[in-house]
Amino acid sequence: MLQQRTLKSLTHAVGVGLHSGQRVEITLRPAPPDTGIVFRRVDLPQVVEIAVSATAVSDTTMASTIASGNVKVHTVEHLMSACAGLSVDNLYVDITAEEVPILDGSAASFVFLLQSAGIVMQSAPRRFVRLTQTVEVREGSGATEKWARLSPYHGYQLSFEIDFDHPAVDATGQRVVFDMSSGSYAKDIARARTFGFTKDVEMMRAKGLALGGGLDNAIVMDDYKILNAEGLRYDDEFVKHKILDAMGDLYLLGKPLLAHYSARRSGHALNNLLLRELLRRTDAWEVVTFEDAERAPRGFAQLAPAW
């Protein structure tokens, strides 16, 4: 049987929020089968829990925010991406402020935290949302058109195309395909950092965004070049970060997908629209488990081995 997974022990990190600039502590804790991933605002007089779901996403300006009433957690996508990449199903995320720490701007620190705590199998089957028909969302037209699509696929594959008219981005790959069956999420995707342009920083700061951002947690570019002295971590780090983000955004569904995700110029907003369209299209998917691990997609039984 393909089983659900959680952490073996708890783990802890301290950092600042990318947008809020606020100091924040997070504690990742094991959770029972079928809990899903639940954020808990432990800094409030009464703890407020926010279970991830497509409809818990309340804002997608520069990051994915989830909310329960007025209580929010911003920038959940990199931690969610690490959970998707390591196939962690059940987790409590205790957090002391309204934004997940940015750490190094990628998912690598979260991968390290999860792997250090250890990942264990649980006595319940892993439930996947398996696409049976294609679901698609589009926005705009012509050169500025954006789209995102989920199609039937025995496994989980993501292909992404960006189209940034910038010399530093142009020089790198603008398209990438990643398949979960490769087992190489931690090595090939997780280290890709978020990126931004100096010309946008003033505008973002005026809106109270990017207050915690800098060269130690983002790739920063002026009109011509990358300003980080150490350069890029991957030749195609930009588009790989878009895959990283998409994996996090899509994991907010609450269950892993069996699908081929393809997108052009998509972002947090369109990724969430895609999930909402998926939920509306109840004819386009089914929930499946694998009693016989042999029938699971290639490589899936081996993902994120127990420590």
How does DSSP assign 75-130, residue by residue? --HHHHHHHHHTT---EEEEESSSB-B-TTSSSHHHHHHHHHH-EEEEEEEPPEEE
Closest to Zn ion by CB, 64 or 90: 64
The catalytic residues are 268
CB of 3 to Zn ion, least distance (A): 29
Residue 245 found at the interface with Zn ion (CB under 5 A): yes
Segment 182 to 201, residues that bind Zn ion, using CB under 5 A = 194
Nearest-angstrom CA–CA distance, 217 and 234: 15
Contact 263, 270 (CB under 8 A): yes
Contact 177, 155 (CB under 8 A): no
Q: Which of 86-94, 243-251, 259-267, 298-306 is the region at the interface with Zn ion (rule: CB under 5 A)?
A: 243-251
Instruction: With CB under 5 A as the rule, give the number of residues binding Zn ion.
Output: 2
Nearest-angstrom CA–CA distance, 95 and 50: 11
Closest to Zn ion by CB, 65 or 122: 65
Closest to Zn ion by CB, 60 or 151: 60
> Among candidates 97, 90, 86, 131, which has minimal Cα distance to 19?
97
Nearest-angstrom CA–CA distance, 75 and 105: 11
Closest to Zn ion by CB, 232 or 284: 232
CB of 88 to Zn ion, least distance (A): 18
CB of 299 to Zn ion, least distance (A): 25
Edge-to-edge order in the sheet of strand 71-73? 57-59, 65-68, 71-73
CB of 182 to Zn ion, least distance (A): 21
- The pattern of x and - marking residues 140 through 179 that bind Zn ion according to CB under 5 A reads ----------------------------------------
Closest to Zn ion by CB, 247 or 284: 247
CB of 242 to Zn ion, least distance (A): 8
SS3 category, 54: helix
In the complex, the residues that contact Zn ion under the rule CB under 5 A are 194, 245
